[in-house]
C-alpha cells in the first residue's frame, strides 16, 4: 500500500518555527526569549549549510521535469523562511527590545549612538576594532576576495573627487571580537552591535572619500565533506584536508540587508560568484545567533536555575564499579548530576583492577574530562580502545585533536569506515578482581559530553548485566576490524539492537507483535520518543499498526515525515513536540506487550542515516524499577499542556489546550526525581 510522507526539509523548518514560538511566548523571561531567537537563527544557518544544497539540487531536477512551482520544495521552503523571518523581526524589534528597555537595557538596533557614549565607542574602535579591519577593493583590487562561510561583511560604496565611485568589502570581525559592546551611563546599560561601531567610524577609515552607502551581507556555504572511498591515505588526513576546504564550498545563500541598490547587488553577485545561491533580503544585522552572548546579567530576566540532583547512594568510600555490581542504575541528564559518568571514566583510569577500557566517542567537550581520563589510563599502561568518529559534522576538528592526543598517549584508536558512521553511545570496562574477570558498561542515548549534558535531556544506564556486556564486547571487536558494513560478519545479537545487524528487523518484529494483538481484539500500544522520524519502512509499519487499531503515541522533537491523524491511514497515531529550557534528546521505545511492557532506549533515531549508514545501539531496560521510572517520565511528557504542541495533518505546531491541572513536563520530571528514593531494592 502507498502511504503519504511529509517532506523532511519542510518538516525541519516547521520544527524551527516551534523554536520561534518560544521566543513569542509572553510567559518566558525576556532573555530566554532572546536565546530562543539565537537558536532559531543558528538553526536556519545550519539549514542553509546542510539541507539547502539538497533542496537546490531537487529544484533543478524539478525545473528539468517541469514540476509545478507550488509543488517544488525550494519554493515552499523559501515561503516558510520568509514568513518565519518576518515573525522573527516582529518579536525582536516589536516586543523584546522594548521589554529590555523597560529594564534599563538599551540594545541599539539600527539607531544612532547617543552622544553621551560616543567617545567611549570611538575609543573602543581605535584601541580594539581597528586592528582587525581589512578593506579590500572588489573591483581591481590587489587581492582576490573570497568571503568565508557565515562571516559578516560590509559592502562600502565610496565616491572620489573627480573620479568614479569604488566599492570596498570590509570585514566585521565578530569571529575575533565580541559581537556586542556594553556601556553603562546614568543608570542605563547601552549595548551596541560591533557592526554599528564600525559604521559609526567609517569616516576614520575612508578619510578622503565620500561614503555613499554601507550594506551588510553574509554568504552561507555547503558544509558537506567529500570523502573518497578509494582514498589510499589515512582517513584523518583526508578529513583534515577537506576541513580546510569546507568554508570554500558552494554558496547556498546570499543574505543582505534591505534597501541595497540593485546595481550594487548585481555587482556583489557577479564579483563573488553567488548567482546560483538563494538571494535573501534579511535584516540590517545577520548572525543573530550571537544574541546568545548578549551581555545582560539581570537574574529576573532569565530562568531560575535548577541545581542538578545528586545520587548520594554512591558512597565516596565505595568503588563505582562495586556499586554497579549490585544492580543497574540510570542517570537522567541534566536533571541529575553528570558527575557519576565522569567518575565512571576517572575511576577506570586509576583503578589498579581495570585492565581494559573501550568506548565510542561521537561528540565530546572541547576540554573533555572524559578523554583526559582515557589519556591517563593509556599512559598508565591500561589497554584503551577508542572509536573516534571523525565524520561527526562540525565536530571533525575537535575529534581529530583528541584522536591525536589519545594516539600519542598509547590508546588504540579506531576510525569508522568512510561509508559508515559510528553513532552508538557505549562504554565498557574490564576488571580483574580476585582472579575473576568482571565487566561494567555504560549505555546511553546521548554523547559522552559533559558540556552538552548540562542542557540536553539524555539517559545513561550503568550495568553489570553479563548478557548486555558480552554483546557490547562483541560489538567492540567488530568495530576494531574496521569492516565497511555488517555483511560477511554476523553477530547474533539477542539483547542489544544494533543498526547494520538487527535494529530495524527487531523494531519491525516488536511492531508486528502489537499488530497481532490488536487484530485479536487485545489491548495494543506503542509509545516512542525520537529526535527525528524519516525512514519509510518503519513509518510504513507504524501506519500499518494504526490501521490494525494499535494506539501509537509519539514525541518527535524535530524532523517528522509521518503524517498523523489521517482517517484510514494514521487515525490512531498522535504526535507531539516539546520545546522547553532543555533540548529533548533521548530516544525511548515502549511496547505494550500484553501488559508486560518492554522498554528500549538508545542512540538511534528512525532516519535513513541511522538505519542504513550508521552503527547505532539501542538497549533493553530489564530492571523493573528503572523501566517504571522511564515509563513514568514519558507519561508526564505525554500529559504536558504547557510546553507541548500537537502536530496536525500538515505537521503544523498546534498548542495544546491549557486545562487544569497544568503540566510542564520538564519541571514535573525534575520534581519527580527530587522525590526519588535511591533504593536499589
Q: In this predicted structure, what is the pLDDT of residue 161?
A: 60
Has residue 484 got a pLDDT over 70?
no
Count CB neighbours of 537 within 10 A: 14
CB 154, CB 216: distance < 8 Å: yes
**What contacts 500, CB < 8 A, 6 or more positions away?**
420, 485, 486, 614, 615
Cell numbers 530492571 correspond to 623
What amino acid positions are annotated as catalytic residues?
423
Angstrom distance (rounded) from CA 384 to CA 363? 18
CA distances (Å), 120 to each of 105, 197, 561, in order? 17, 10, 53
Q: In this predicted structure, what is the pLDDT of residue 232?
A: 44
Has residue 15 got a pLDDT over 60?
yes
| Averaged pLDDT for residues 61-73 | 62
Has residue 237 got a pLDDT over 90?
no
Adjacent-strand bridge partners of 162 = none
Flag whether 423 is in a domain: yes
Domain carrying residue 643: 497-675
Flag whether 450 is in a domain: yes
Do both 434 and 560 map to the same domain? no
pTM above 0.85, yes or no: yes
| Averaged pLDDT for residues 421-444 | 96
Flag whether 354 is in a domain: yes
Do both 432 and 565 map to the same domain? no
Flag whether 19 is in a domain: no
CB 370, CB 402: distance < 8 Å: no
**DSSP labels for 505-521?**
HHHHHHHHHHHHHHHTT
Give the HSE-up count for residue 443: Cα atoms under 13 Å, Cβ half-sphere: 31
Do both 450 and 523 map to the same domain? no
Flag whether 538 is in a domain: yes
Pairwise pLDDT comparison (48 vs 125), residue with the higher score: 125
How large is the C-alpha radius of gyration of the chain?
A: 27
Q: In this predicted structure, what is the pLDDT of residue 172?
A: 97
Q: In this predicted structure, what is the pLDDT of residue 185?
A: 94
Instruction: Write the pLDDT tens digit of every residue in 338-383.
Output: 999 999 999 999 999 999 999 999 999 999 999 999 999 999 999 9
Closest CA to 529 of 611, 586, 599, 591: 586
The domain boundary, picked from 421, 455, 485, lies at 485
Query: CATH no. for residue 358?
Result: 3.30.870.10
* Burial class of 353 by CB neighbour count within 10 A (0 to 12, 13 to 18, 19+): middle
Binding-site residues for ATP: 43, 456, 557, 585
Has residue 70 got a pLDDT over 50?
no
Give the rounded percent of residues in the chain with a pLDDT score beyond 90: 76
Average pLDDT of the chain is: 91
Do both 643 and 610 map to the same domain? yes
Q: In this predicted structure, what is the pLDDT of residue 230?
A: 44
Instruction: Write the pLDDT tens digit of every residue in 561-570.
Output: 999 999 999 9
Q: In this predicted structure, what is the pLDDT of residue 138?
A: 85
Q: Give the sign of the dihedral formed by CA 379, CA 380, CA 386, CA 388.
A: negative
Flag whether 163 is in a domain: no
Q: In this predicted structure, what is the pLDDT of residue 163?
A: 63
Has residue 229 got a pLDDT over 60?
no
Binding-site residues: 43, 363, 393, 456, 557, 585
Has residue 664 got a pLDDT over 90?
yes
Do both 480 and 501 map to the same domain? no
Pairwise pLDDT comparison (278 vs 574), residue with the higher score: 574
**Range name among 317-321, 374-378, 572-576 with the lowest pLDDT average:** 317-321
The domain boundary, picked from 436, 457, 485, lies at 485
Binding-site residues for Mg(2+): 363, 393
Has residue 202 got a pLDDT over 90?
yes
**Range name among 149-153, 219-223, 307-311, 439-443 with the lowest pLDDT average:** 219-223
Do both 471 and 516 map to the same domain? no
Do both 513 and 467 map to the same domain? no
Angstrom distance (rounded) from CA 637 to CA 634? 5
Instruction: Give the model's confidence band at 52: pLDDT under 50 very low, under 70 low, under 90 confident, else very high.
Output: confident
Flag whether 248 is in a domain: no
Flag whether 639 is in a domain: yes
CB 97, CB 146: distance < 8 Å: no
| Number of domains into which the chain is organized | 2
Instruction: Write the pLDDT tens digit of every residue in 588-625.
Output: 999 999 999 999 999 999 999 999 999 999 999 999 99
The domain boundary, picked from 430, 464, 485, lies at 485
Amino acid at each position: 500500500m502507498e502511504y503519504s510522507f511529509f517532506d523532511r526539509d519542510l518538516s525541519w523548518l516547521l520544527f524551527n518555527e516551534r523554536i520561534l514560538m518560544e521566543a513569542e511566548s509572553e510567559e518566558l523571561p525576556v532573555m530566554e526569549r532572546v536565546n530562543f531567537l539565537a537558536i532559531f537563527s543558528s538553526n536556519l544557518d545550519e539549514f542553509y549549510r546542510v539541507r539547502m544544497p539538497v533542496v537546490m539540487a531537487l529544484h533543478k531536477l524539478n525545473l528539468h521535469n517541469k514540476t509545478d512551482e507550488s509543488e517544488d520544495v525550494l519554493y515552499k521552503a523559501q515561503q516558510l523562511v520568509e514568513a518565519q523571518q518576518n515573525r522573527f523581526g516582529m518579536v525582536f524589534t516589536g516586543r523584546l527590545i522594548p521589554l529590555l528597555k523597560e529594564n534599563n537595557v538599551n540594545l541599539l538596533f539600527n539607531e544612532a549612538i547617543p552622544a553621551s557614549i560616543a567617545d567611549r565607542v570611538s575609543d573602543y574602535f581605535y584601541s580594539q576594532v581597528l586592528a582587525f579591519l581589512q578593506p579590500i577593493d572588489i573591483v581591481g583590487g590587489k587581492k582576490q576576495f573570497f568571503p568565508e562561510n557565515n562571516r559578516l561583511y560590509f559592502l562600502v560604496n565610496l565616491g572620489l573627487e573627480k573620479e568614479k565611485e569604488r566599492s570596498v568589502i570590509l570585514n566585521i570581525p565578530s569571529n575575533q571580537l565580541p559581537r556586542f559592546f556594553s556601556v553603562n551611563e546614568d543608570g542605563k546599560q547601552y549595548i551596541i552591535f560591533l557592526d554599528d561601531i564600525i559604521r559609526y567610524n567609517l569616516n576614520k577609515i575612508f578619510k578622503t572619500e565620500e561614503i555613499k552607502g554601507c550594506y551588510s551581507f553574509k554568504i552561507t556555504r555547503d558544509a558537506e565533506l567529500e570523502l573518497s572511498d578509494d582514498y589510499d591515505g589515512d582517513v584523518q588526513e583526508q578529513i583534515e584536508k577537506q576541513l580546510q576546504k569546507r568554508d570554500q564550498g558552494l554558496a547556498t545563500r546570499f543574505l543582505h540587508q534591505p534597501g541595497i541598490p540593485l546595481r550594487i547587488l548585481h555587482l556583489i553577485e557577479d564579483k563573488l560568484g553567488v548567482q546560483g545561491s538563494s538571494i535573501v533580503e534579511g535584516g540590517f544585522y545577520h548572525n543573530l545567533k550571537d544574541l546568545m552572548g548578549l551581555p545582560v546579567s539581570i537574574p529576573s530576566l532569565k530562568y531560575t536555575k535548577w541545581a542538578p540532583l545528586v545520587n548520594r547512594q554512591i558512597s565516596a568510600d565505595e568503588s563505582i564499579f562495586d556499586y554497579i555490581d549490585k544492580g543497574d542504575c540510570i542517570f537522567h541528564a541534566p536533571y541529575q548530576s553528570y558527575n557519576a559518568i565522569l567518575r565512571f571514566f576517572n575511576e577506570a583510569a586509576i583503578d589498579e583492577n581495570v585492565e581494559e577500557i573501550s568506548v565510542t566517542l561521537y561528540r565530546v567537550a572541547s576540554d573533555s574530562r572524559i578523554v583526559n581520563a582515557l589519556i591517563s589510563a593509556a599512559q598508565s599502561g591500561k589497554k584503551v580502545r577508542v572509536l573516534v568518529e571523525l565524520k561527526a559534522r562540525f565536530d571533525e576538528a575537535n575529534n581529530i585533536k583528541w584522536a591525536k592526543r589519545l594516539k600519542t598517549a598509547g590508546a588504540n584508536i579506531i576510525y569508522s569506515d568512510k561509508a559508515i558512521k559510528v553513532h552508538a553511545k557505549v562504554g565498557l570496562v574490564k576488571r580483574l578482581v580476585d582472579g575473576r574477570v568482571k565487566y561494567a558498561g555504560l549505555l546511553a542515548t546521548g554523547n559522552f559530553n559533559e558540556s552538552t549534558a548540562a542542557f540536553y535531556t539524555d539517559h545513561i544506564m550503568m550495568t553489570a548485566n553479563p548478557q548486555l556486556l558480552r554483546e557490547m564486547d562483541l560489538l567492540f571487536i567488530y568495530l576494531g576490524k574496521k569492516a565497511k558494513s555488517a555483511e560477511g560478519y554476523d553477530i547474533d545479537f539477542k539483547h542489544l539492537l544494533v543498526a547494520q545487524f538487527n535494529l530495524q528487523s527487531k523494531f519491525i518484529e516488536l511492531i508486528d507483535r502489537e499488530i497481532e494483538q490488536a487484530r485479536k481484539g487485545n489491548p495494543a500500544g506503542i509509545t516512542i520518543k525520537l529526535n527525528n522520524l524519516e525512514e519509510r519502512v518503519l513509518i510504513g509499519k507504524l501506519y500499518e499498526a494504526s490501521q490494525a487499531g494499535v494506539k501509537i503515541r509519539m514525541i518527535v522533537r524535530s524532523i517528522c515525515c509521518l503524517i498523523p491523524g489521517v482517517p484510514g491511514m494514521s487515525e490512531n497515531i498522535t504526535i507531539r513536540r516539546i520545546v522547553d529550557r532543555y533540548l529533548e534528546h533521548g530516544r525511548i521505545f515502549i511496547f505494550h506487550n500484553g501488559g508486560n511492557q518492554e522498554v528500549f532506549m538508545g542512540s538511534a533515531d528512525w532516519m535513513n542515516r541511522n538505519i542504513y549508514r550508521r552503527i547505532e545501539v539501542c538497549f533493553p531496560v530489564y530492571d523493573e524499577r528503572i523501566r517504571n521510572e522511564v515509563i513514568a517520565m514519558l507519561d508526564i511528557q505525554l500529559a504536558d499542556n504547557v510546553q507541548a504542541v500537537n502536530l496536525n495533518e500538515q505537521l503544523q505546531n498546534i498548542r495544546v489546550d491549557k486545562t487544569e491541572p497544568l503540566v510542564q513536563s520538564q519541571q514535573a520530571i525534575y520534581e519527580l526525581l527530587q522525590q526519588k528514593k535511591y533504593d536499589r531494592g
